[in-house]
Amino acid sequence: MGYPVSAMYTQRMLIRLLFDPDLVERIHNTPEQVMGWETLSNEEKKDLLSQDKRLFRADPHLRARHLQAYLREFPLSVFFHSEGQVWKLQQFFSSEEYHLAIHEWSSVLAAFKRYLTREASEELRSLIEFENELCRCRQQHGLSPEDTGRWCLRRGNLVFKSPEGFCEAYNRDLIRHGLTGSSIIEKMAVPHSHVWKPHDGPPCWILLERQEDGSIQMGEVPHEMGELLNKASTPIAERLFVESALQLGADDSNEALEILLSFEDEGLIVRC
């Protein structure tokens, strides 16, 4: 006997009800306007409506605990956006981004990034995108090494473009505002008037390398190196890598292969 599709959506609706007190009222007052309500059977709807509303408020700190995980992924973005009123971001759990992520069973962290981008000022958008790349690096699973004649970035490595000097400014501000230790959340909750200053320098390639302890080493790399590593963001045949290296200035195929092998020796790429 198969698992009812509506039962799956009921479980997801329960999660949404636990995190969003407003939704509890909405399913009683305007259920037809609630995302996903139509996916439930009449019996499941009746069962949800029969629950004591207080059950969904039994843990008053549930949202705050879960919010901390998302805040830690975007420390500077949240610091500058919230100006010390960090807990106002609990409204994320009432947002369309959150409800859609749970309903579709997709990434809640990605939903938080979209919510933060929508709520933040235009000046903070580049910072949010930068910290999102750091998130991707921390969570990247990569591919298991195989000998298929293709190459790709090692798991935990990532390249992307950002304004020149962004890395240095980012690390400097993390330290300046005390967002590097275990008391990040406490620092975010202190009222302040600091403002993020966007960087408008020419774009350059940034290389992120996740270390064994979970930290991330970041830095700017030369244009040619960034272009080649970006080619390996998706599996690339060795022949195509060599062709790309030649187009970017390698003297001949031998030098192109030396570049490829040097990337392997440095732990930047692997066979995949």
Mean pLDDT of the chain: 92
What integer pLDDT is reported at residue 139 of this predicted model?
85
- 63 lies in some domain: no
Reply yes or no on whether the pLDDT at 183 is more than 90: no
- Cα 226 to Cα 19, 214, 262: the distances in Å are 42, 23, 14
Q: Which is more confidently placed, 259 or 200?
A: 259
Rounded to whole angstroms, the Cα distance separating 37 from 103 reads 10
Please report which confidence band the pLDDT of residue 144 belongs to, taking 50, 70 and 90 as the band edges: low
- 157 lies in some domain: yes
- 124 lies in some domain: no
Per-residue model confidence as pLDDT tens digits over 29-80: 999 999 999 999 999 999 999 999 999 999 999 999 999 999 999 999 999 9
- Which ranges of 140-231 does DSSP label H, i.e. alpha helix? 166-176, 184-188, 223-231
Average pLDDT rounded to a whole number, residues 101-118: 97
237 closest CA partner among 164, 173, 152, 162: 152
- 78 lies in some domain: no
Per-residue model confidence as pLDDT tens digits over 10-33: 999 999 999 999 999 999 999 999
- 122 lies in some domain: no
Q: Which residues contact 174 (CB under 8 A, 6 or more apart)?
A: 75, 76, 180
Quote the domain boundaries for residue 258: 150-271
Is 267 found in the same domain as 155?
yes
- 135 lies in some domain: no
What integer pLDDT is reported at residue 3 of this predicted model?
52
Structure tokens at 90: 């609990």
Is 154 found in the same domain as 42?
no
- Give the distance, in angstroms, between the CA of residue 98 and the centroid of all CA atoms in the same chain: 14
What integer pLDDT is reported at residue 1 of this predicted model?
42
What integer pLDDT is reported at residue 161 of this predicted model?
96
Percent share of the chain, pLDDT over 90: 84
Burial of 269 (0-12, 13-18, 19+ CB in 10 A): buried
What integer pLDDT is reported at residue 182 of this predicted model?
77
- 46 lies in some domain: yes
Start-to-end Cα distance in the chain:
39
Among 15, 31, 57, residue at a domain's last position:
57
Is 267 found in the same domain as 157?
yes
Rounded to whole angstroms, the Cα distance separating 105 from 107 reads 7
Rounded to whole angstroms, the Cα distance separating 45 from 53 reads 14
What integer pLDDT is reported at residue 198 of this predicted model?
82
> Residue 174 belongs to a domain with what CATH number?
3.90.930
Specify the number of domains making up the chain: 2
Structure tokens at 248: 């970017």
Please report which confidence band the pLDDT of residue 213 belongs to, taking 50, 70 and 90 as the band edges: confident
Per-residue model confidence as pLDDT tens digits over 157-178: 999 999 999 999 999 999 999 9
Percent share of the chain, pLDDT over 70: 95
Counting every residue written for the chain, the total comes to 272
Please report which confidence band the pLDDT of residue 127 belongs to, taking 50, 70 and 90 as the band edges: very high
Reply yes or no on whether the pLDDT at 89 is more than 50: yes
Output the pTM of the full model. Answer: 0.88
Rounded to whole angstroms, the Cα distance separating 156 from 82 reads 30
C-alpha torsion sign, points 86, 208, 237, 146: negative
